[in-house]
């Protein structure tokens, strides 16, 4: 399978227009902050098992794609507009998308003032690549914020008012539907005790990349920024941190003969990783360990390396290595150009806790019975 991470389709909005949209979205959501309004998960740790026993959670696979919000709005002339918003809070105009309104039987009226949360991904089906937007939450519907609703109610709104009429559109005009730049799908949710099924049935058959699970509390409102009730589980070896990479000193060459030493820019330099300390301050964290072969691969991509966000993992020897993107037959570093900043040091601390905790697939499967029993106790109506 090739990469499941697509390039964002569409036209990047120029700075002035993008700032207008940021103000518009902030007003729609009743926020003073014009930053990216999307929620961010925390890493799953052992203390979160108690959460799964105590409260209702939904479970889904963690897609390896591009996190985007989909903003449905209208132009001055009343025509339908759609923008994808990435984590850098940039806006990309996407042509040819139609999200019919649930109240219009003719499916011509559209949603306006609606903000959807999801993941843009490349699905590999029968030798073909199909771009899809996997919708898993909604922040605003037709000019009204729904962030104060519980996740369970927001899912119901998304499914009934957005996805259902969209499916009817697909059934009624399949030829027109096929021309859209990507397909919108509702991301399937499972009960929190469905981990064994996810590992053995769902994840192996996915048409796109996956790097873990997401548990999201059904009872809580939408939180912009870090949400303590969205739990991101990855296998211990897949827990990664997004650092700022800075190239350090290159080895010096002494040509002799009285000439001044000079840096050897072909040789492997010192490479340091930095974490976000807040207020645009970065703190040195650790060196990046790379082999000579990996350094040659980094140089071969012929791109600027310094001052970029790079995704890294901790190997069995405790060294920080860069995560690799598979691109055909070659491997390249996974640069996170979709993110404006490296992980904050508080996030880094939580990821390190998750790595030290080492919650495994077996640990999750071991608690299935007790999580299911607790769920059934809270929902006796499901046993009738």
Which amino acids are annotated catalytic? 62
- Two structure tokens written together for 104: 């219009």
Pure H helices in the chain = 15-29, 48-54, 151-157, 164-172, 174-177, 195-197, 292-300, 345-357, 361-366, 368-378
* Paired tokens of 9: 């389709």
Residue 173 CA: distances (Å) to CA of 107, 158, 186: 10, 22, 19
Which neighbouring-strand residues pair with 232? 43, 214
User: Are 213 and 194 within 8 A, CB to CB?
Assistant: no
Question: Taking the alpha carbons of 148, 230, 275, 37 in that order, is the dihedral positive or negative?
Answer: negative
328: which residues sit within 8 A by CB, 6+ positions away? 2
CA distance 235 to 244: 23
Per the structure block, which two tokens stand in for 57?
Answer: 């959670």
Question: How far apart are alpha carbons 343 and 355 in whole angstroms?
Answer: 16
């Amino acid at each position: 399978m090739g990469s499941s991470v697509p390039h964002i389709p569409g036209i990047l909005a120029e700075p002035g227009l993008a700032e207008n949209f940021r103000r518009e979205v902030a007003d729609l959501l009743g926020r003073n902050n014009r930053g990216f309004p999307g929620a961010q998960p925390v890493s799953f740790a052992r203390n979160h098992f108690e959460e799964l026993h105590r409260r209702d959670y939904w479970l889904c696979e963690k897609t390896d794609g591009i996190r985007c919000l989909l903003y449905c709005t209208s132009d001055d002339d009343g025509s339908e507009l759609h923008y994808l918003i990435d984590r850098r809070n940039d806006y990309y105009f996407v042509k040819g998308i139609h999200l019919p309104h649930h109240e219009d039987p003719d499916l011509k009226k559209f949603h306006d003032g609606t903000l959807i949360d999801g993941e843009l991904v490349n699905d590999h089906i029968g030798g073909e690549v199909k771009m899809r937007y996997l919708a898993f939450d909604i922040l605003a519907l037709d000019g009204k914020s729904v962030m104060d609703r519980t996740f369970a109610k927001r899912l119901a709104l998304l499914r009934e008012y957005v996805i259902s009429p969209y499916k009817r559109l697909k059934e009624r005009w399949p030829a027109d539907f096929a021309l859209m730049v990507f397909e919108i799908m509702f991301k399937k949710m499972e009960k929190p005790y469905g981990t064994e099924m996810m590992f053995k049935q769902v994840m192996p058959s996915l048409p796109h990349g996956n790097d873990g699970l997401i548990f999201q509390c059904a009872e809580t409102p939408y939180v912009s920024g870090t949400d303590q009730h969205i739990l991101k589980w990855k296998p211990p070896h897949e827990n990664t941190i997004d650092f700022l990479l800075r190239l350090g000193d290159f080895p010096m060459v002494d040509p002799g003969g009285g000439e001044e030493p000079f840096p050897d820019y072909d040789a492997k330099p010192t490479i340091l990783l930095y974490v976000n300390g807040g207020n645009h301050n970065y703190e040195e964290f650790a060196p990046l360990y790379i082999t000579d072969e990996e350094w040659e691969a980094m140089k071969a991509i012929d791109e600027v390396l310094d001052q970029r966000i790079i995704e890294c993992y901790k190997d069995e020897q405790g060294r920080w290595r860069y995560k690799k993107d598979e691109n055909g037959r070659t491997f390249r570093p996974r640069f996170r150009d979709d993110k404006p900043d490296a992980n904050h040091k508080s996030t880094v601390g939580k990821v390190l806790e998750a790595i030290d905790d080492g919650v495994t697939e077996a640990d999750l499967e071991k608690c299935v019975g007790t999580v299911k029993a607790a769920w059934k106790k809270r929902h006796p109506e499901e046993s009738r």
